[in-house]
Amino acid sequence: MFIHQPFIGVFSLCVVYITMGGRHIVKGSVPSSEDVLPGFCEGFSYSPESGIFLPKKIAASPSATKLDLGSHFEIRCSIYPSSGEGVGGQFKDCLSQISRILTAQGVDRKNIVQFTVFLPSDGFLWNREAAASVLGDFLHESGFIPPTSFIGQTPSHGKMTCLESVILTPKENISLKIRHEHIPQVDVDYSAAEVGGHRWMWGGGLEGHGPDTKTSCVRAFSLLADVLAREGMSFQHIVSQKNYVDSICHRNYNDFNVVRAAAYRRGGLVDGFPSATGIGTVTGVPGHFVMEFVAYDGVREPLDNDWQRPAHKYDREWLEQQARGVGASIGGSLSSSTGLSVDTPKFSRGLYLPESGVFLVSGTASIIGTKIQHTMDEPKEMRIDDLADAFVGRGVGGSGFEVVADAGGRFVVQTTSAVEAQTWQTLKIINHLLAQRDMSVADIRQLRVYVKHIGDVNRVSEICRKVLGDVPTICVNGSVCYEDMLVELEGLAKK
């Protein structure tokens, strides 16, 4: 058994395909009694109506949901610690919650296929070492470490750590084969599963250790191509990719996009791009880059959003402006002879998996066309009729915002800051995207929230909770890829 230590080539492959559980305001399947073992373990309560596991000590937000993917079940966990001192103590508490879920489902630790661990940016390397040590103790009898990403994004609500995890569980009379592989030559781990006639690969913690972003990304994408080939897959099989770029604004995000585009072209991926997020971290490590991905050999339907220009079709002038930090929208023309190498972000706004009904929502910000919306702190009234199905009947209102019905019966929200307005606008954009498969934000089953300024966490979290209800959510302090963007949302939806 081995444990990756900080700054060693961590490539623990495992990204998830999730279907998040229903809740009382959402149309969707409700887990049957056989989905959950009787007498759920102490420390948790389970709602058969909603399919949500609630930790009793932090019952304000759900920790996990169990979803039926047809061929198997997935339990998607979004866990905050309820006790413990420091990174090590709080991470140990998070893993204890995972243990209770495993026990309740009658499976063991080999059914864990992915961990994503969020750590404070200050002292990142030390924090990662502390978390890695706790994880090694947790899995010392298992003989493997599931693919694990350690991310330098400070958790919300004053916590020292939080985590996401994916657990697979079998259905009766359907074979579920899970493998955890290690490639010692490059110190690479990945997880793979065969179930229902399909193959999956999960990836996370894929890192390159160069002096700059470009060098790190080149190595990471090279490893990615090699590992996919090991399982008979290619870039065309990637359905989701999460990319964590240190100090992302301006040149570093551009360099990442240039490397990604070149790697995809070499691998034959020229359209039909996966869902993806590119988000910033702060680690203090020059060129730090971490990647997560999932690959799948079934049918995939990449989708764009007609409210936004496809990212893979952005204008060169706009890309140059952003790389150089010039502005929030197209304005004026920059010479194409500036010497700056640019390429478009190669991702789709979302991706639908028709065989499981899963809709993967890429990292989404408040952009209409190519213009970043709501960049000024000022009072604003926004129409949100299109979101009404999600929150009507639950009541919406709270500190910093209020939703009312105007004289025409239309729902409007009063906002006072740019981050509030951007959050509402982003939810509207996601809602419009999901409508392509007859879904809405009411069908979101898991959410991840990136907030540029930690002081905005409460306002953004409250808006999302009021609109989406009890959805497993992780909220972290993440630098959004362009200067004037204050919040970014990604998620997964399923009816």
Report whether 343 contacts 464 (CB < 8 A). no
**Whole-angstrom distance, CA of residue 328 vs CA of residue 483:** 8
Q: Is residue 397 predicted with pLDDT exceeding 60?
A: no
Q: Is residue 51 predicted with pLDDT exceeding 70?
A: no
> If you compute the radius of gyration of the chain from its CA atoms, what whole number of angstroms results?
21
Convert the pLDDT of each residue in 141-195 to its tens digit.
888 889 999 999 999 989 999 999 999 999 999 999 999 998 888 888 899 999 9
Structure tokens at 146: 């599931």
3-state secondary structure of 487: strand
Highest mean pLDDT among 153-157, 209-213, 384-388, 406-410: 153-157
146-171 burial, b at 16+ Cβ within 10 Å, e below that, comes to: bbbbbbbbbbbeebbbbbbbbbbbbb
Going by pLDDT thresholds of 50, 70 and 90, the confidence category of residue 53 is: low
In this prediction, residues 277-287 reach a mean pLDDT of 94
What average pLDDT is seen over the chain?
Answer: 83
Angle between helices 251-266 and 316-324 (to 10 degrees): 140
Give φ, ψ of 451 to 5 degrees: -120, 130
In this prediction, residues 74-95 reach a mean pLDDT of 95
pTM confidence score = 0.86
Going by pLDDT thresholds of 50, 70 and 90, the confidence category of residue 67 is: confident
Report whether 198 contacts 297 (CB < 8 A). yes
Convert the pLDDT of each residue in 459-491 to its tens digit.
999 999 889 988 999 999 999 988 889 999 999
Task: To the nearest 10°, report the CA torsion of 475, 480, 485, 491.
Answer: -50
Going by pLDDT thresholds of 50, 70 and 90, the confidence category of residue 6 is: very low
Q: Which residues contact 451 (CB under 8 A, 6 or more apart)?
A: 156, 419, 457, 460, 475, 476, 477, 478, 486, 487
Closest CA relative to residue 208, chosen from 286, 139, 131, 140: 286
* Max intra-chain CA distance, the chain: 68
**Whole-angstrom distance, CA of residue 391 vs CA of residue 120:** 33
Convert the pLDDT of each residue in 320-360 to its tens digit.
776 776 554 433 333 344 457 889 999 999 999 999 999 99
Going by pLDDT thresholds of 50, 70 and 90, the confidence category of residue 227 is: very high
Residue 107's pLDDT is 95
Report whether 140 contacts 1 (CB < 8 A). yes
Helices (H), 32-158: 86-105, 124-138
Q: Is residue 375 predicted with pLDDT exceeding 60?
A: yes
Residue 168's pLDDT is 95
DSSP letter string over 278-335?
EEEE--S-TT-EEEEEEEESS--EEE--TTB--GGG--HHHHHHHHHT--SS--S---
